[in-house]
Structure 1
């Protein structure tokens, strides 16, 4: 059985902690985050990197034992990452960004 999604762009939401941390970062880093999220939102599948510019971002499961659970999106040459989950709904599939980190 193959997974069928309504297709991109996906809706996105940020947890309060993730959005506050994102907003505290320098503008250049926030721009990198926006670029990474836009790349993810326009991807064909939110948990696979096919169709993504892998020179800018990469995706991997947060835990190998939960391939449909939370995922990590690395950006800025692995200097930063986002932890997100994908909620598959027929009406409005959504990506929820839980954590942001940049060093």
Structure 2
């Protein structure tokens, strides 16, 4: 990332489907979702690029790209030790950078 972009906290938007998925979860799972979202909006690089960048995530959370061949594409943040995840895309625009969460799953 360059200094041309605004820094955290990032704006995070939910698709209707992802928001509905979050709202149907039990309270404990919603707390995990909220914690994962908080990590995304406060980290310097929401794609956690670089060696050991995700090491500061709380226990039970990890991040990886959806496709290893597209490191700048959609990513998944896993929470609750892999029982749930948020799929998201970060758009690092100079004006109004944002995270769009398009899937929220908890098993």
Taking structure 2 as the reference length, the TM-score comes to 0.88
Deviation at 1:54, TM superposition (A): 4.5
- 1 CA distance for matches of 2:53 and 2:96? 22
Q: How many residues were matched structurally?
A: 101
The residue that corresponds to 2:25 in the other structure is 25
Deviation at 1:56, TM superposition (A): 3.6
Structure number with higher relative contact order (C-alpha < 8 Å, ≥ 6 residues apart):
2
Q: CA RMSD in A?
A: 1.4
The residue that corresponds to 1:70 in the other structure is 74
**Which 5+ residue runs of structure 2 have no aligned equivalent?**
none
Point out 4+ residue stretches in structure 1 off by more than 6 angstroms: none
- 2 CA distance for matches of 1:42 and 1:98? 19
- The 5-angstrom pairing of residues 45-56 of structure 1 reads 45-48=45-48, 50=53, 52-56=56-60
Write out per-residue CA displacement over residues 25-76 of structure 1, whole angstroms, 9 at most, x where no aligned residue: 1111111100111011111101016263252421100001111000010001
- The 5-angstrom pairing of residues 87-98 of structure 1 reads 87-98=91-102
Taking structure 1 as the reference length, the TM-score comes to 0.91
